[in-house]
């Protein structure tokens, strides 16, 4: 058994882990990065990237199907799933090569194997001990299921859904959160009959109430079926399909059941608790500097309670490296993290929802403005509906931005600058937004909230 010493030993090479490795190496720290599968983790191989590639193929299918509305003669003859998967895999492979090259070009020792915490400053992998002045735990998450609901055969999670080499004719999706609506959107565009079952009262229940409502309207219009406020009871599988029963007795049949009920922290069996790491319901508890209960041991990404998003993991990884290097970085404001739900239409949001803002500041102390994309030229050209909703503190800054419509995810950059820099609507109103862009809708909404609407009624 060999022993290796580093400034930083990182367990898990996903978004959180590899960001910590890259920034640590930049700062001159010696780094070991232990990964049991592939660098890039869930986001690159089983999450963000492959699903967005499928969504792009789905958009091409929709555009082709609707081509006549734009005066173009084209017919959608079908979806060649193996070819779609080949396109998707090509993107993942290129990014994987790029990432491997990037990590390989730095002074980072990549260890291929499963690691386990075997001391307060050591991780053992392949029988070797990697001792770090600091450890970073970044072992990510797994697709959860419900008690008694076994993932097997025709009952699948996003992982198996991404591997399908055919377009299912009929699918039931358990869960109307980000992953559920994303697959609903993809499959509907590919021609599948989709039904979403959501236990909470609305689809995308974590979003602002008006966005959830608009999403339901959009999905209804697209012919995506959904049942909300109903609870799943059980599923029966046969050789040809599944029958799902709800607690209210309703039954639905389909070819597949996709379970999309959230992701759980991947922390069991890695020696965390045995070595003094405080764990709550599987999550690693940290302070706001991402330090665990063990001195010198940090945690990043989906194992830390909060938004399970790749860009949060990246930022946490960077933060930890800078903290270890003594740069005293500013803590990450979870509320300022931008969120995008990728589907047709897209949802993008940052900051407080109207309900939360009213709860914190009082309804009388906030102002809300909704700019309808009906007044936005580029949105009309694209044929999308939706809105930009702003929430401001009276005589104060913008504290929440919520958008729904095709491609609004591309506008979250400006929205997050506005919220995180605590801009006043009057300040944003004086910035020029290019015409005709969907981005203008953000500018118009701020003009209106500043009391000088242009292409909008007061
Ligand atoms: C279908 C889907 C779509 C998604 N889409 C988006 C999106 O569009 N945008 C977004 O921001 N987020 C998205 N996410 C979430 C995003 O993928 C995660 O938030 C992100 O990957 C978390 O990074 P992480 O570093 O915490 O964990 P992971 O990326 O899961 O990485 C953890 C790594 O640790 C390794 N590992 C685990 N245990 C060990 C061990 N004991 N020893 C060695 N290695 C180990 C794993 O192999 C893995 O590579 C999506 C997720 C899914 C499932």
Please report the DSSP string for 71-138 in residue order: T---------HHHHHHHHHHHHHHHHHHHHHHHHTSSEEEEES-EEEEETTEEEETTEEEEEEEEEE-
Query: What is the band of 137 on the pLDDT scale with cuts at 50, 70, 90?
Result: very high
Structure confidence by residue, pLDDT tens digits, 176-203? 999 999 999 999 999 999 999 999 999 9
pLDDT at 1: 76
Structure confidence by residue, pLDDT tens digits, 204-261? 999 999 999 999 999 999 999 999 999 999 999 999 999 999 999 999 999 999 999 9
Strand partners, 31: 8, 108
What letter does residue 291 receive in the DSSP assignment?
Answer: B
Is a pLDDT exceeding 80 seen at residue 370? Answer: yes
Q: Do 180 and 174 form a contact (C-beta atoms < 8 A)?
A: yes
State mean pLDDT over 124-134. Answer: 98
What letter does residue 152 receive in the DSSP assignment?
Answer: B
Tell me the best of 48, 160, 258, 341 to mutate to test the pocket of ligand 1, counting ligand atoms within 8 Å of each CB and taking the most.
Answer: 48
How many angstroms is it from 382 CA to the middle of ligand 1? Answer: 33
Q: Is the CB of 198 under 6 A from ligand 1?
A: no
| Residue with tokens 């392949």, as numbered in its chain | 126
Structure confidence by residue, pLDDT tens digits, 340-369? 999 999 999 999 999 999 999 999 999 999
Q: State residue 96 phi and psi, 5-degree precision.
A: -65, -45
| Residue with tokens 């909704």, as numbered in its chain | 370
Q: Is the CB of 12 under 6 A from ligand 1?
A: yes
pLDDT at 265: 98
Alpha helices in 339-376 (DSSP H): 354-361
State mean pLDDT over 273-285. Answer: 98
- Is 311 a catalytic site residue? no
Mean pLDDT score of the chain:
97
Structure tokens given for 273: 């608790």
Can you tell me the distance from the alpha carbon of 378 to that of 127, in angstroms, rounded to the nearest whole number?
A: 59
Q: CB neighbours of 328 closer than 8 A, spacing ≥ 6?
A: 322
How many angstroms is it from 298 CA to the middle of ligand 1? Answer: 17
| Residue with tokens 């082709």, as numbered in its chain | 64
Supply the pTM of this predicted model. 0.97
Q: Is the CB of 36 under 6 A from ligand 1?
A: yes
**Crossing angle for the helix pair 178-190 and 48-65, to the nearest 10 degrees:** 40
Tell me the best of 43, 103, 175, 317 to mutate to test the pocket of ligand 1, counting ligand atoms within 8 Å of each CB and taking the most.
Answer: 43
User: Exposed (0-12), middle (13-18) or buried (19+): which is 345, by Cβ within 10 Å?
Assistant: buried
Can you tell me the distance from the alpha carbon of 267 to that of 137, in angstroms, rounded to the nearest whole number?
A: 9
Structure confidence by residue, pLDDT tens digits, 385-398? 999 999 999 999 99
How many angstroms is it from 264 CA to the middle of ligand 1? Answer: 11
Of ligand 1's listed atoms, the one at least distance from the Cα of 113 is 43
Is a pLDDT exceeding 90 seen at residue 329? Answer: yes
State mean pLDDT over 326-336. Answer: 97
Q: Is the CB of 342 under 6 A from ligand 1?
A: yes
Catalytic residue among 4, 45, 361, 435: 435
| Residue with tokens 């933060």, as numbered in its chain | 319
How many angstroms is it from 34 CA to the middle of ligand 1? Answer: 14
Can you tell me the distance from the alpha carbon of 155 to that of 168, in angstroms, rounded to the nearest whole number?
A: 13
**Residue positions counted in the chain:** 458
Tell me the best of 13, 19, 137, 139 to mutate to test the pocket of ligand 1, counting ligand atoms within 8 Å of each CB and taking the most.
Answer: 139
Structure confidence by residue, pLDDT tens digits, 293-317? 999 999 999 999 999 999 999 999 9
Of ligand 1's listed atoms, the one at least distance from the Cα of 15 is 25
pLDDT at 456: 84
Query: What is the band of 378 on the pLDDT scale with cuts at 50, 70, 90?
Result: very high
pLDDT at 458: 65
Structure confidence by residue, pLDDT tens digits, 71-105? 999 999 999 999 999 999 999 999 999 999 999 99
Is a pLDDT exceeding 80 seen at residue 154? Answer: yes
pLDDT at 294: 98
How many angstroms is it from 157 CA to the middle of ligand 1? Answer: 15
Structure tokens given for 418: 């506005």
């Amino acid at each position: 058994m060999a022993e290796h010493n580093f400034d930083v030993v990182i367990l898990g090479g996903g978004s959180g882990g590899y960001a910590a490795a890259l920034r640590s190496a930049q700062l001159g720290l010696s780094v070991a990065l232990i990964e049991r599968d592939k660098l890039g983790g869930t986001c690159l191989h089983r999450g963000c990237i492959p699903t967005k590639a499928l969504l792009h193929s789905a958009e091409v299918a929709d555009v082709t199907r609707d081509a006549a509305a734009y005066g173009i003669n084209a017919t959608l003859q079908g979806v060649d799933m193996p070819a779609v998967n080949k396109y998707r895999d090509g993107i993942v492979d290129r990014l994987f090569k790029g990432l491997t090259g990037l990590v390989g070009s730095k002074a980072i020792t990549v260890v291929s194997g499963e690691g386990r915490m075997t001391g307060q400053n050591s991780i053992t992998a392949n029988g070797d001990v990697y001792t770090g002045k600091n450890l970073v735990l970044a072992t990510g998450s797994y697709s959860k299921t419900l008690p008694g609901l076994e993932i097997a055969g025709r009952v699948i999670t996003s992982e198996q859904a991404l591997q399908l080499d055919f377009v299912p004719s009929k699918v039931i999706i358990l869960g109307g959160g980000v992953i559920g609506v994303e697959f609903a959107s993809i499959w509907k565009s590919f021609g599948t009959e989709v039904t979403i079952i959501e236990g909470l009262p609305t689809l995308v229940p974590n979003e602002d109430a008006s966005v959830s409502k608009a999403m339901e309207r959009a999905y209804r219009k697209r012919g995506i079926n959904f049942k909300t406020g109903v609870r799943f009871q059980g599923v029966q599988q046969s050789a040809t399909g599944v029958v799902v029963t709800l607690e209210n007795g309703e039954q639905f049949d389909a070819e597949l059941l996709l379970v999309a009920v959230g992701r759980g922290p991947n922390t069991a069996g890695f020696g965390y608790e045995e070595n003094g790491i405080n764990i709550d319901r599987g999550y690693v508890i940290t302070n706001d500097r991402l330090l665990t209960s063990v001195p010198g041991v940090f945690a990043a990404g989906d194992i830390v309670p909060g938004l399970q998003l790749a860009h949060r993991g990246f930022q946490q990884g960077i933060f930890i490296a800078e903290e270890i290097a003594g740069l005293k970085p500013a803590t990450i404001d979870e509320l300022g993290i931008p969120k995008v739900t990728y589907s047709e239409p897209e949802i993008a949001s940052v900051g407080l929802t109207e309900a939360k803002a009213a709860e914190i500041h009082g309804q009388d102390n906030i102002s809300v403005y909704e700019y309808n994309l009906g007044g936005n030229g580029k949105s009309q050209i694209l044929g999308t509906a939706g809105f930009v909703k702003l929430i401001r503190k009276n005589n104060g800054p913008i504290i929440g931005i919520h958008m729904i419509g095709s491609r609004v995810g591309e506008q979250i950059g400006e929205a997050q600058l506005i919220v995180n820099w605590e801009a006043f609507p009057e300040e944003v109103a004086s910035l020029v937004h290019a015409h005709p862009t969907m981005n203008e809708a953000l500018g118009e909404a701020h003009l209106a909230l500043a009391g000088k609407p242009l292409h909008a009624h007061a």
